[in-house]
Chain A
Amino acid sequence: MNLELTEEQCMLQDILSRFLSDQYTFDQRQKLSQQGIGYSEQNWQNFAELGLLGIPFEEQYGGFNFGATGLMIVMDAIGKGLVVEPYLSTVVLGGQLIQKAGSEAQKLDLIPQLIEGKLKLAFAYIERQSRYELSNVSLKAERQADSFFLTGSKSVVFNAETADKIIVTVRTSGNNRDKNGISLFLLDKGALGVSMKNYHTVDGLRASELFFDQVEVSHDAIIGELDAAYPIVEQIIDGASAAICAEAVGVISQLREKTVEYLKIRKQFSRPLSDFQVLQHRAVDMFMAEEQMRSLSYLANIKIDGGSRSEQIRAISAAKVYLGDSRSVVGEQAIQLHGGVGVTDELDVAHYYKRLTMLNNLFGDRDFHLERFGQVELV
């Protein structure tokens, strides 16, 4: 057994940390987040040049085939830098959906474009009533000859505004909550009958509500088999969950580091806060949570690359539960130990905390995964 990073992974890590320290200060991030499209197109092109957009894709489509553990390295850096570029939407969700379910023609057409930074994707799978249940899909498709007409809506679709194409979960047969009868459709941006309401999110990203009114799509737009998308969606969301656990590790490491630093600098009662043992212990709790979270993130991502399905689910849900707990142990604590400055918009710590909090609310929160963890029997 060897749980150290490989040489390739170390190189990737170096590239990323150089990028972050050269071009991704907190001030730069804040500007990007608040203005224009919410991220930098230039950064996206840099990602392409650095090869970051090809990490999980197979070599025959121009990727590196680094798998989930490769993504883990990137996501950790994304967490550290509070990166706002649409990596999760395009590479982790959209790109991997196409790789897993797309036809050979779709893969050959789309994945190379994506890797070159010329194609951005969004994944629309949440609905008003769905909460975290992936089979809760009611956006309907009606079939007429060789076309489908989509009607309904999707919620909180990340980066939809700037995506070139949007992948949508659609109910093509059966009832809401049936696992059978869900299909994936690939829509062009600006498809007739799609309207959007775009907004910022509390953690500095962008998302949209999507409304579909008799949107006509051809049979070619289906990704994978008709009615059979559920297991694929579940796997992709599992992969994304493991990826954001790695992102959380990056976020948590910054919260811990910045808080420890602050305890050393901030003086009250004529001594640094770090002199107070009760505060030392709280910093230690943060550190311990960070290491345990890192362990579970490793496990989840390693299992995606090699484990059985039940091992995967247990490891991913375990990591997600831990992520949820770190909201208070790490996030709330970091704010508390900073005192008043912790609750200001100006301080980076507040933004790391917001991101950590929202990561719990993506792809199933702590309770959802605690329940799911308990339901899986190891075989």
Chain B
Amino acid sequence: MDLNYTPEEKSFRQEVQIFLKENYPAYLQDKVAKGVALKKEDYVHWQKTLYEKGWVAPGWPVEYGGTGWTPVQKYIFEEECGAANCLRLTSFGLVMIAPVLLKYGTEEQKQKYLPGILSSDTWWTQGYSEPNAGSDLASLQTRAEKQGDYYLINGSKTWTTHGHYGDMMFALVRTSKEDKKQKGISFILFDMKSSGVSVEPIITIDGLHVVNQVFLDDVKVPIENLIGVEGEGWSIAKYLLQHERTNIAQVPRSKKQIERLKLLAEKEIHNGKSLLLDPFFRAKISEVEVELMALEMTSLRALSKVSVGESSSMTSSLLKVKGTEVQQKITALLMEAVGYFSLPYFNGVLMDGWQDGTPVGPEEAAFLAPHYFDWRKTSIYGGSNEIQKNIVAKVVLGL
């Protein structure tokens, strides 16, 4: 047992630090630090920079553009990105559909899609959830009927993150009715510009537009867009869930947020002293820090298992639940730190920052309540925290 990094790992960390310092733009650092909404071009800009460096897809095999890093190196990279306020690349292409293509795709499919994912020239969206199929995903109803050399798709997908940016969607659709509902599901890709696809915005609790409902009305999809074989969709989706989800706990991000919280609290005054010195507030920060400390060590233990070639899938639910709890608590404390200044709401500021306007209260105050509200989503999506606990109960504890 050893918590220390090897000399090679230390010099790798330095290399990452230098690269980020030289290449991660100040305006993005500022946006992420303050919590200004990110635009498509922000994501694309940073992804292209990483792409040119060859660091865009640490999880991929080297021959397709991966980095060949060890799990520890990947972790170091995530840590440094968190510390530098790097924006998190969207995962739909790089971390979700790519591993599926690599495992189940034909050679043509890989050639066709992987380069665009890597370079961020194709924007992918995830079409799993439907209005009546959330936690119970297998009950999805969107149909794909085979008609000659294409499928005709009808139905609706919802909560589609960045659907309005999307070029391509990977979706779960029903290709046949079977006694067991998981059996008739297939995994398919389609062009979101196809006729019959319409994208309607859903405005979330923070007043912003990130998610969408996507309506599919007689959408013609060539049969070569099917992944694997018909009826294999559910196993593919499960593979994706079990696929190594690096950084699911988001420890580096939470550390950065705690640092931010302390800086903010230090400047606020409570009973004539810095709020950071208030024992009540300080105790709450400490409580989150204790939980985060445990979470970091649990993450490292999981990482160590992966490094020696063992599976760590049993911990991914734990990391998700505890990770989101920590993140949510931090957003609440950030909001509480500014007291009354959590109240003023400026939609335009959430989108573009204060620009030349004079902030009301501390500059970042306007972001804090909307973020706190928005961050409730993290215990709902990606398999809700209740569903994660069901999995642990069943798979880990055998209940």
Contact = CB atoms under 8 A, between A and B. Distances in A.
A128 interface: yes
Contacts of A327: 332
B379 A336 contact: yes
B158 A344 contact: no
A278 B17 CA distance: 45
Query: For chain A, which range describes its interface: under 10, 10 to 19, 20 to 34, or 35 or more residues?
Result: 35 or more
A350 B205 contact: yes
A340 B129 contact: yes
Contacts of A362: 340
Q: Does more than half of chain A's interface fall in helix, strand or loop, or is it mixed?
A: mixed
A202 B360 contact: no
Interface string A312-353: 000000000000000100001001100110111110001001
Interface stretch (A88-96, A144-152, A363-371): A363-371
A156 interface: yes
A346 B374 contact: no
Interface string A354-379: 10011001100101001100000000
A202 B280 contact: no
A75 interface: no
Interface string A104-136: 000000000000000000000010110111001
A319 B344 CA distance: 25
B271 interface: yes
Interface residues of B, number: 52
Contacts, number: 134
B176 interface: no
Interface string A174-191: 000100000000000000
Given A268-B135, A279-B386, A344-B205, A365 B339 contact: yes
B202 A344 contact: yes
Contact of A340 (B340, B344, B369, B380): B380
A201 interface: yes
Nearest to B349: A199
B207 A155 contact: no
A238 interface: no
A209 interface: yes
Given A268-B134, A268-B136, A336 B380 contact: yes
A339 B135 contact: yes
Interface in B349-373: 358, 360-361, 369-370, 372-373
Contacts of B335: 357, 361
B269 A131 contact: yes
Interface in B285-308: none
Contacts of A209: 360
A197 interface: yes
A305 to B, nearest CB: 28
Contact of B342 (A132, A202, A342): A202
B11 interface: no
A353 to B, nearest CB: 8
A267 B136 CA distance: 9
Contacts of B134: 268, 339-340
Contacts of B67: none
Contacts of B332: 327
A126 to B, nearest CB: 5
A365 B336 contact: yes
A278 B386 contact: yes
Given A350-B205, A370-B280, A202 B374 contact: no
B243 to A, nearest CB: 23
Contacts of B361: 128, 155
Interface string B372-383: 111011011100
18 contacts: A131-B275, A131-B339, A177-B272, A200-B344, A200-B345, A202-B342, A202-B345, A269-B139, A332-B376, A335-B376, A339-B380, A343-B374, A345-B205, A350-B205, A353-B373, A358-B369, A361-B336, A361-B343
Which 10 pairs across A and B sit closest by C-beta, in order of nearness?
A268-B136, A367-B280, A345-B203, A202-B345, A156-B340, A201-B343, A350-B205, A202-B369, A269-B136, A343-B205
Given A199-B345, A200-B345, A202-B343, 11 more contacts: A126-B340, A202-B370, A268-B136, A269-B139, A332-B376, A339-B134, A340-B129, A345-B203, A346-B202, A357-B335, A365-B336
Interface of B: 129, 132, 134-136, 139, 158-159, 202-205, 207, 268-272, 275, 278, 280-281, 284, 328, 332, 335-336, 339-346, 358, 360-361, 369-370, 372-374, 376-377, 379-381, 384-386, 389
